[in-house]
Amino acid sequence: MDIIITGLLLGGTYALIAFGLNLQYGVARIMNLANGEFLVLGALAAFWIFVADSISPVLTMLIVAPLSFFGNWVIYKLLLRPLVRRAKNQGQLEVDSILATFGMSFALVGIMVSMHGEYFTYSYLAEPFEIVGETFALNRIVAFCFAVLIGGALWLWLYYTRPGMAMRAVSVSTEASGLVGIDVPRLSALAFALGGAVTTMGGTLISTFITLDASVGVIFTMKALIIIIMGGVGDIRGAIVAALILGLVETTVARLIDPGLTLAAAYAIFVLVLLFRPQGLFGRKPT
Amino acid sequence: MLKRVLKAAAIVASASLLAVSAQAADVIKIGQVAPKSGPLAGGATVTQWPNVELWSKQVNAAGGLNVGGTKMMVEIVEYDDKTNPGEHIKAAQRLAEVDKVDFIVAPYGTGFNLAAAPIYAKYGYPQIAVSAISDKMPELTARYDNLFFTLGNTTSFTDSVIEILTDMRDAGTIGNRVAMVNVADAFGIELAEAARPKIKEAGFDIVYDKSYPLGTPDLSPIIKGAKDSKPDAFVAWSYPPDTFGLTEQAIIQDLDVKMYYTAVATCFPAFKGKFGSKIEGVFGAGGVNQGSPEIQAYFEAHKEMTGKDADAWASANTYVSLEILGQAIEGAGTLDRKAVTQYIKDNTFDTIMGPINFENQISNKYWTVGQWQDGKFRGVKSSQMDGAAPIVAKDGWN
Amino acid sequence: MSHGSDIKSLVWGAVLLLLAACVPLVANGYWMSIALTIAMFTVLATSWALFSGPTHYISLATAAFFGVGGYLVGTGMSDYNMGFWTMVVIAPVVGAVLAFLIGIATLRLSGVYFVIFTLGLAEMIRTLVSWIQNNFTGSRGLYVLTDLTEADIYIYLVILAAVVYLAGWWVNRSRIGFALRIIGNDEMVARHVGINTATSKVILFTFSGFIAALVGALIAPRYTYIEPNGVFSPEISFIVVIMALLGGTGRLWGPIVGVIPFALLQEFINANYSSYSTLVMGVAFLVIVYFLPKGVVGRIEQALATRRKSTW
């Protein structure tokens, strides 16, 4: 029981890391290697505001989300849209966006290093919380609840609203959805901006229980990539399931076998899933 | 075509570098390569960079160093190695060949000190290593005539921890059960390897002995596992991010041991900033003599000139290494690197950590374990240092 | 491609490699260091592109092979008292076997799934190696103490580069190269016309793994002290991909024209904007992407094409 709850909490953290990139890559087709830096930016904001004024990271999250949305929207319009327009096919767009966002991640790390080169670490809700006689960290539980809220809201929006449906259509096929009158460029910008905002929100929450620094973003980008690929590109259910599987596997291995093998086991599961389902858990067969 | 591009680039690069190096002759150029980004940057920003800044400002405020009768100001040439050994080696070569610096500040991190050692040896730069802990020091100093070590070796760090365990057992505060964990990376593995047989030799049972990968996002399973093994003492050979993570979980899970030790970064100001009074009684690697007026003056100057708090371990050692370099240049009365290196070998230096000299290029005066007591991180175990505070048992996480 | 131009490109390649081998005679320590970095990434990026260029399969597993090479040299010399050269022989074989297994495992994957699969696998190997070192080899630090200088290592890498270019030249002319190009265009078509896509892919992937492990082994003495998390750093995989893409993967000489300007640019930025080098590097990168859309190769071919037109 203890393992299951700890694993779910960790899975929630992973879901927070992966939601944003899933929208950016699944819908807007941008393999955003600077995604982790936006997560770290959220963490940095939470840390700064907390240390300066003891303002709760949850409040910070509500402040930075629209800022990040706007920032990512501008980045998409100014820097990425030209790449989309000049790319002749998906392959070329992938190469171009890898190169461009790689540069962006460098630039963002450079900016953050000059702002705060030390570790971002503070204590927020680092208190015990009891569930069925076992003790868990309150900040992780809060983050998990927000992961559920954010994931739930995204799911409702994608599956029960018109723009959400259009978004899913774009993720299936950009050409076909263009033909049926969906404004693909606008929706892509929206998806990219929304993805960035969600990632930044995740960063503010994660900073309450993981110690980060300015250069750590790439680790989160890689984790997010692994999760969305394991779940199947563009499918939010896949990302959630994959995140929870990873969280449960890591915790189980840590408690029952050896903590030294947690990450290795998580990657092994990822490798196995792809060996048996080359398109991810919920992915569609490539056409 | 290719060659023309190459040549043009080479000309541009060297021209711009020449412009920097053509400067007044009565300046001592001192080079520094250390991480400003990458995994080690968080530590270097606390321990390394501010001390270089502080020392150079202080020297220049005093009118410079007296080199054989002429007062010379110091100028720091600094590069970011991005925590990448290849990048570091290139930058070290650049310091020597292009900037033609007179002296260098030793790199940050064991691997980086060793990777740069052949280069600094080739150009004869005295390299007073601080953030480098190895059990191969005699072999390395025999190989590199210019390399000095100041922070101690792996064995002394583990031995001091075992001494504390033994002291506390003899006093009846703890029993025989020790839980030990380590980060699965170079430094953590080395320390755990050195400690394991000796803890057993001292008559303790290691009831929990696990490693965890660098970058483990959730350390609560480790603390829970350790707690289930009902230990009397908890020892973690840990790095900065996990030192914070383990302690946070230990507080939440109420890992109630009388002896709790985490290694690197326990002495950081951010550690207290994060946990406040809860860390009373926590042991960690390093330490300083908080009762020393020189150290207090150093802490104040550090805060005043760099705007940051020094850590209570290698910050002081880093500053001391620069004091030694400065005194050796003045003492030798020349910028000749051979003479300065020889001067370092032959003399005793008056530093904020007291007099320091080198035997076979190794200084044996350093702190190994400190403990948070009344909100200050005090040295409790050392090699040949004065002013050790008596150890106290940890009394819960309040 | 006619036979004559083939011979001509061979001769040109030989001349350039000989020139490259002369660098240690004229370069000082600083330029030697840069030349070594360039040589290392040239070999890595070119052998990477041998597989990924024609097939369009982007592999992020370079760090796994490179790391295996560096780690084996470190552990062999420190834990088992083996000689450096013995390990240099063993390491690439292990790298090749590993690559062979990965090659077989990834046959069913395509596109981004292949990319991230190789990344995940490399990370798995990295944490596994750390765990093994922690629990079994009982290491007290991995020291690689040799008397090799940077110039020595550089010469070895130039020879290795010659081998890679020769192999690439041969592959392009052989059935295997033809098969790979068809796979890159359309794997379905390739299968339907009876090309054994699996064998061709696995052979070249194994070769690139062999070379990357050999580079990792040869470069280890330069670092003196091996940290598994350093040699297995995923950054290496990313940089190799970036450099190769920047140059262009369609030509055998594509990666090197990406590696050289990239390394020099990086050096220029690090030397002149030390406090903001990461930021400036990022901005420079963006500029390159927007103004060199087809990589350096594209630019050069464009320039050659216009010159040819104007002379006619």
- State yes or no: pLDDT of B15 exceeds 70: no
Distance from CA of B375 to the nearest CA of C (A): 34
What percent of chain C has a predicted confidence (pLDDT) above 70? 95
Distance from CA of B314 to the nearest CA of A (A): 16
- Residue B40 three-state SS: coil
Per residue in B221-237, pLDDT (tens digit) is 999 999 999 999 999 99
Per residue in C64-80, pLDDT (tens digit) is 999 999 999 999 998 88
- Torsions phi, psi of C229, nearest 5? -65, -20
Question: B127 near B146, Cβ under 8 Å?
Answer: yes
CB count within 10 Å of CB B171 equals: 11
Task: Give the residue from A40, A108, A112, A222 with the most C CB atoms within 10 Å of its CB, the best one to mutate.
Answer: A222
Q: Is A271 on the interface with C (CB under 8 A)?
A: yes
**In chain B, which residues have their Cβ closer than 8 Å to the Cβ of A258?**
210-211
Category of B265 on φ-ψ map: left (φ > 0), alpha (ψ -120 to 50) or beta: left
Residues belonging to chain C with any Cβ–Cβ distance to chain A shorter than 8 Å: 56, 105, 108-113, 116-117, 119-121, 123-124, 127-128, 130-131, 134-135, 234-235, 238, 241-242, 245-246, 275-286, 288-290, 293
Q: Where do the domains of chain C lie, and which CATH numbers do they carry? A: 3-311 (1.10.3470)
Neighbours of chain B (3+ CB pairs under 8 A): A, C
Nearest residue of chain C to residue B32 (CA atoms): C274
What CATH number is associated with residue A177?
1.10.3470
B56 alpha-carbon distance from chain centroid: 19
- Torsions phi, psi of B286, nearest 5? 105, -145
Contacts across the B-C interface (CB distance below 8 Å): 140
Question: What's the pTM value of the predicted model, to 2 decimals?
Answer: 0.89
> Residue B147's pLDDT band (boundaries 50, 70, 90)?
very high
Rg of chain B (C-alpha set): 22
For chain A, how many structural domains are there in total? 1
Per residue in A155-208, pLDDT (tens digit) is 999 999 998 899 888 888 888 888 888 888 999 999 999 999 999 999 999 999
> Residue C311's pLDDT band (boundaries 50, 70, 90)?
low
Q: Is the Cα dihedral B255, B257, B262, B267 positive or negative?
A: positive
Distance from CA of C46 to the nearest CA of B (A): 17
Per residue in A118-133, pLDDT (tens digit) is 898 898 888 889 888 8
The pLDDT of residue A127: 87
Query: C99-103, C144-148, C272-276 — which one is most confidently predicted on average?
Result: C99-103
Q: Average of pLDDT values for B235-248?
A: 93
Distance from CA of A217 to the nearest CA of B (A): 10
Q: Average of pLDDT values for C104-123?
A: 87
- The C-alpha angle with vertex B240 and arms to A259 and B231, in degrees rounded to 5, equals 50
Beta bridge partners of A34: none
* Cβ within 8 Å of A, B 70-109: 83
The pLDDT of residue B52: 96
**Binary contact (C123, A263; C-beta < 8 A):** yes
Which of B241-250, C204-213, C275-284 bottoms out in mean pLDDT, i.e. has the lowest?
Answer: C275-284
State the residue for tokens 């289930």.
B228
**In chain C, which residues have their Cβ closer than 8 Å to the Cβ of B91?**
270
Question: A17 near A220, Cβ under 8 Å?
Answer: yes
**Binary contact (C113, A279; C-beta < 8 A):** yes
* In a domain? residue A226: yes
Listed in sequence order, the residues at least 6 apart from C102 whose beta carbon sits closer than 8 Å to its beta carbon are C61, C64, C118, C121, C205, C209
Q: Is A18 on the interface with C (CB under 8 A)?
A: no
The pLDDT of residue C180: 77
> Residue A280's pLDDT band (boundaries 50, 70, 90)?
confident
Q: Is B241 on the interface with A (CB under 8 A)?
A: yes
The pLDDT of residue A179: 86
**In chain A, which residues have their Cβ closer than 8 Å to the Cβ of B277?**
none
The pLDDT of residue C238: 87
**Binary contact (B37, A215; C-beta < 8 A):** yes
**Binary contact (B222, A254; C-beta < 8 A):** yes
**Binary contact (A229, C121; C-beta < 8 A):** no
Q: For residue A238, what are the domain limits?
A: 2-276
- Whole-angstrom distance, CA of residue A225 vs CA of residue A32: 9
Residue extents of the structural domains in chain B: 27-153+292-367, 154-289+368-383
Nearest residue of chain B to residue A219 (CA atoms): B215
**Distance between first and last Cα of chain A:** 42
Per residue in A216-237, pLDDT (tens digit) is 998 899 999 999 999 988 888 8
The pLDDT of residue A67: 95
Question: B176 near B203, Cβ under 8 Å?
Answer: yes
**Binary contact (B224, A264; C-beta < 8 A):** no
- Which tokens hold the place of C37? 């970095």
**Binary contact (A268, C285; C-beta < 8 A):** no
- Residue B265 three-state SS: coil
**In chain B, which residues have their Cβ closer than 8 Å to the Cβ of A3?**
221
The pLDDT of residue C158: 94
Nearest residue of chain A to residue C126 (CA atoms): A264
Neighbours of chain C (3+ CB pairs under 8 A): A, B
> Residue C147's pLDDT band (boundaries 50, 70, 90)?
confident
- Which tokens hold the place of A198? 């969600």
Q: Average of pLDDT values for A103-116?
A: 91
Question: B103 near B31, Cβ under 8 Å?
Answer: yes
Nearest residue of chain B to residue A123 (CA atoms): B274
* In a domain? residue A285: no
- Whole-angstrom distance, CA of residue B327 vs CA of residue B59: 11
Distance from CA of B331 to the nearest CA of A (A): 36
Residue A62: CA atoms inside 13 Å, Cβ hemisphere, count?
4
Asked if the domains at B27-153+292-367 and B154-289+368-383 fall in one CATH topology, the answer is yes
- State yes or no: pLDDT of A88 exceeds 50: yes
Q: Is B253 on the interface with A (CB under 8 A)?
A: yes
Q: Average of pLDDT values for B14-28?
A: 55
The pLDDT of residue C1: 43
Nearest residue of chain C to residue A219 (CA atoms): C234
- State yes or no: pLDDT of C302 exceeds 80: no
Domain B154-289+368-383 of CATH type 3.40.50.2300: yes
Per residue in C232-269, pLDDT (tens digit) is 988 889 889 888 888 888 788 888 988 998 899 888 98
Which of A6-10, A17-21, C105-109 bottoms out in mean pLDDT, i.e. has the lowest?
Answer: C105-109
What percent of chain B has a predicted confidence (pLDDT) above 70? 94
Question: B54 near B306, Cβ under 8 Å?
Answer: yes
**In chain B, which residues have their Cβ closer than 8 Å to the Cβ of A121?**
244, 270, 273-274
- Whole-angstrom distance, CA of residue B294 vs CA of residue B291: 9
Distance from CA of A216 to the nearest CA of B (A): 7
Identity of residue C81: N
**Binary contact (A122, B252; C-beta < 8 A):** no
Q: Is A287 on the interface with C (CB under 8 A)?
A: no
Which of A195-199, B261-265, B281-285, C304-308 bottoms out in mean pLDDT, i.e. has the lowest?
Answer: C304-308
Kind and range of the H or E element at B331? Answer: helix B314-332
**In chain B, which residues have their Cβ closer than 8 Å to the Cβ of A119?**
42, 240-241, 244, 265, 268, 270
Distance from CA of B125 to the nearest CA of A (A): 28
Q: SS3 letters for chain A?
A: CHHHHHHHHHHHHHHHHHHHHHHHHHCCCCCCCCHHHHHHHHHHHHHHHHHHHCCCHHHHHHHHHHHHHHHHHHHHHHHHHHHHHHCCCHHHHHHHHHHHHHHHHHHHHHHHHHHCCCCECCCCCCCEEEECCEEEEHHHHHHHHHHHHHHHHHHHHHHHCHHHHHHHHHHHCHHHHHHCCCCHHHHHHHHHHHHHHHHHHHHHHHCCCCCECCCCHHHHHHHHHHHHHHHCCCCHHHHHHHHHHHHHHHHHHHHHHCHHHHHHHHHHHHHHHHHHCCCCCCCCCCC
What percent of chain A has a predicted confidence (pLDDT) above 70? 99
* Cβ within 8 Å of A, B 15-44: 36-39, 41-42
Nearest residue of chain A to residue B271 (CA atoms): A121
Of C127, C131, C289, the CB nearest to A103: C289
- State yes or no: pLDDT of B18 exceeds 50: no
Distance from CA of A179 to the nearest CA of C (A): 25
Domain B27-153+292-367 of CATH type 3.40.50.2300: yes
The pLDDT of residue B25: 58
**In chain C, which residues have their Cβ closer than 8 Å to the Cβ of B190?**
139-141
Of A107, A274, A283, the CB nearest to C117: A274
Of residues B250 and B4, more confidence is placed in B250
- Tally the residues of chain A: 287
- Whole-angstrom distance, CA of residue B276 vs CA of residue A31: 42
Q: Average of pLDDT values for C218-229?
A: 89
**In chain C, which residues have their Cβ closer than 8 Å to the Cβ of B183?**
none
Of residues C309 and B217, more confidence is placed in B217
CB count within 10 Å of CB C174 equals: 12
**In chain A, which residues have their Cβ closer than 8 Å to the Cβ of C135?**
260
**In chain C, which residues have their Cβ closer than 8 Å to the Cβ of A113?**
278-279
**ipTM, 2 dp:** 0.89
The pLDDT of residue C192: 77
**Binary contact (A226, C119; C-beta < 8 A):** yes
Per residue in A28-68, pLDDT (tens digit) is 888 899 999 999 999 999 999 998 888 899 999 999 999 99
Distance from CA of B212 to the nearest CA of C (A): 8
Task: Give the residue from B214, B218, B248, B272 with the most A CB atoms within 10 Å of its CB, the best one to mutate.
Answer: B218
